[in-house]
Chain A
């Protein structure tokens, strides 16, 4: 069963997006030295967003989340078996974007073999192998959200390892 818990990321990300847009608008025109300096970061800065608490997760039942902002849907899954990159006491909690990196169709989770599957053109990705594309048309593996869990069991997303479909900057 899926549930849809939107996370409180929207407001902050909206502001960040606005700042980026302003900075971006300056790029192609003439930049002052100060503006150029403000642009000097080589990587985007990812927010640390609380997604859920470990206690909220049931084995092999994906929880709908969004990260880094409300417009980027994903899933948080407790796989039930430790995987490379999994977090939590059992090393089995992972999170992925659910937008297919081929054409951006929203994918569905198959609990039977723990894969994300695209109804558009039948690409599929393995949630137990870092989102590796099992078969399909995407030219990248599925963006995985970097997770951290604190002492209280709260799960935070803090980064993304591939470009998310539909945005040329993972943080807008």
Chain B
């Protein structure tokens, strides 16, 4: 039997319950929710006067009602030291989601840590220090002192290059303007750390360098543009699964208004099937290209648009560079940039050539070009929204393929106008505000390889778990553990000594190739198993947090409960490290260096916000954001008028492009010529193995699997990471639904559960990414592009059965994920 909560009744929110603005912190969309809290000894009633909704709750409520919440939206949490009832439910007045909850966000309440109901007891409550062979709970003072003493010794004995940092750069969840600022100030202002990487990739770089180099910020439209567009062109993204309420609340409205939908993806995703239900199959075009050939397809579409003269000549003349090459291809630019003519010389590809490369009919490619750009019968231009995400960002030839997408938007004038835009759909929300990072360099250091080569002595890790989410993960884990164990052994051997003797022992182990690991996280993660000091963080809802979503909508998600145990906001942990660094360095006689660590006397996350984001955006304060509620304000904020922040609905409405910093304001095209597999080792691996191992997301735990590994509703559905496989391949391999299999190649091995999928193509399996119970990264090679953007999406392997389905797995449903209406 499926997991049931056996809840037959919930406490009713009383009319006078406290209310808080909440932006869901899991994915980029940032749906609006409202949190309600009230004392334990009170409850509302069914009479309209006695509940928050003012309706008669003794009656069945209608569909789409605001006056209902699921058991997952309820919990008992600690607020100002007292237990309180909590309900977190979707906000019908938020323009992002209009009351729609997601399968993740609508479990925010249930995924809060509660000592009363027992939820999320995996949350870290105290600093832990590796001591006496275990992680010993201790005080902040004790833990931070050790972090500072070892870090200060290593960066002064050697240099700041010996400090390696892994850190989030995003909004929501662990990020937000408060926390990106504090960590940025620590590593880019107090120090100049260059061996630093971002949570999901092995270097400190942009995922969309080319779009920015072309002058186009990657989040340039408004979600409402999808509602009034003529064509939604999606490449390497799966919005129904990964940006669910952007799809349901905006793209679907577009489809219902007559928009056509083009999906480029080797896999037939739920987005394709769902779009067919809303728009009619005749208005949906799925191009199931061979893996890694997106660039060839996009170049052919561009060629067709140019040859058919469907380009927007007026826009091109007014807003794009005209004089040949503007930027040469070099180490920092994997393709040259310049005029449309310059670009066409490099990218021209016929429909027939593309059919051969991509494996889809030339007629369908021509149809895509037509749907994107062929003017309507009355001569009016079609409006097209172009959307992309990890399928190409983490795909083959990142720089060029993202550039090719933006090329089409520029050639057809589909940016800066209503119903248009060329945007990544995003993963996390954004929330980046840091000091300049120019010293990191471009290309940036490939930090995973730096660590694997035995370099670096101290590793600070902020809210990321490379064991689950990096490429070449097998080797990374092996080396990281070996180096961390050297330090653990040294600590064990130094038991009973003084703090000075302990630091000496650690530094000696580092000199011998060891790595001292400090992990900041909300749970004891897999990479945290290698840590010597673990510092417990809190997250949104336990602190105030500001972020912007995929349409640059900035909101303050309000704190409504206490941090769990002794945990703290990341920004205040960073401040604690800085303050201890200052103290320790001064003791070491390094006064000038110690002075660099001044300026962290923050009491709250709001202090960090004012120290950072507010200095660049003086109009924006917590008070004003609180008043702006769940609709917030779209960045950039341009003023404050009539008691409200003034924002920007859409970028580039004036046709002036600035993201590249060019004074002429002209956008550049990208000479994104097709060159086959860009990253090393891909072609060889493809030839050597039977199956392409795609990695994919699942909306049920996308962005919060670290919490959901302790959520019964989710674990009941997918007790093991799923691997979607064609039933004929299953027969060939002797597999039944739910069987456990290994995926094997030269990079490593991973494990998952077979999920029969009739729409999966032969010899292509799709494994869910980032699972704690099976890291897909184990079998991905170390291939990156020139700017160290990882190619996660392309790995090939063989599949071998490990066991029959376990009892738990056998009772899971294995039916198609496509709705049957």
Contacts and interface: CB of A to CB of B under 8 A. Distances in A.
B8 A160 contact: yes
A8 B817 CA distance: 37
A83 to B, nearest CB: 9
Contact of B14 (A28, A133, A140): A28
Interface in A128-161: 128-141, 143-144, 160-161
A12 interface: no
Contacts of B9: 43-44, 163, 168-170
A168 B63 contact: no
Nearest to B244: A137
A126 to B, nearest CB: 4
Interface residues of B, number: 62
Contacts of B115: none
Interface stretch (B67-75, B149-157, B202-210, B607-615): B67-75
Contact of B816 (A120, A132, A134, A138): A134
A9 interface: no
A140 B713 contact: yes
User: Which of B6, B9, B716 has the largest count of A CB atoms less than 10 A from its CB?
Assistant: B9
B380 interface: no
A84 interface: yes
Interface string B2-21: 11111111101010000000
Given A102-B101, A141-B3, A172-B58, A28 B72 contact: no
Interface in A87-105: 99, 101-105
A101 B3 CA distance: 14
Contacts of B274: 122
A166 B60 contact: yes
B85 to A, nearest CB: 13
Contacts of A163: 5, 7-10, 70-71
Contacts of B7: 162-163
Contacts of B72: 139-140
Interface stretch (B45-53, B296-304, B687-695): B45-53
Tell me the dominant secondary structure on chain A's binding face. Answer: loop
A71 to B, nearest CB: 4
A167 interface: yes
Given A101-B70, A140-B70, A168-B9, A129 B45 contact: no
B8 A169 contact: yes
B277 interface: yes
User: Which of A124, A129, A133, A139 has the largest count of B CB atoms less than 10 A from its CB?
Assistant: A139
Contact of A21 (B8, B56, B70, B270): B56
A137 B820 contact: no
A47 interface: no
A115 interface: yes
Given A104-B61, A117-B820, A129 B813 contact: yes
B2 A131 contact: yes
B642 interface: no
Interface in B746-784: none
Contact of B820 (A17, A72, A110): A110
Contact of A25 (B43, B47, B63): B47
B100 interface: yes
Contact of B812 (A72, A101, A129): A129
B281 interface: no
B342 interface: no
A138 B103 CA distance: 6
B62 interface: yes
A124 B1 CA distance: 16
Interface string B26-65: 0000000000000000111111001000001111111111
Nearest to B47: A25
A70 B9 CA distance: 18
Given A20-B58, A28-B14, A28-B50, A126 B815 contact: yes
A103 B68 CA distance: 9
A128 to B, nearest CB: 7
A112 B821 CA distance: 11
A118 interface: yes
A18 B56 CA distance: 11
Contacts of A141: 2-4, 713, 716
Interface string B691-731: 00000000100000000000001001100000000000000
Given A124-B819, A140-B72, 17 more contacts: A17-B58, A25-B45, A28-B44, A28-B50, A103-B63, A121-B248, A134-B813, A134-B817, A136-B103, A137-B103, A137-B248, A138-B103, A139-B72, A140-B70, A140-B71, A162-B6, A168-B57
9 contacts: A24-B46, A103-B63, A126-B813, A134-B817, A139-B106, A141-B4, A143-B4, A162-B7, A167-B60
Interface of B: 1-10, 12, 14, 42-47, 50, 56-65, 68-73, 100-103, 106-107, 110, 240, 244, 248, 270, 274, 277, 699, 713, 716-717, 811-813, 815-821
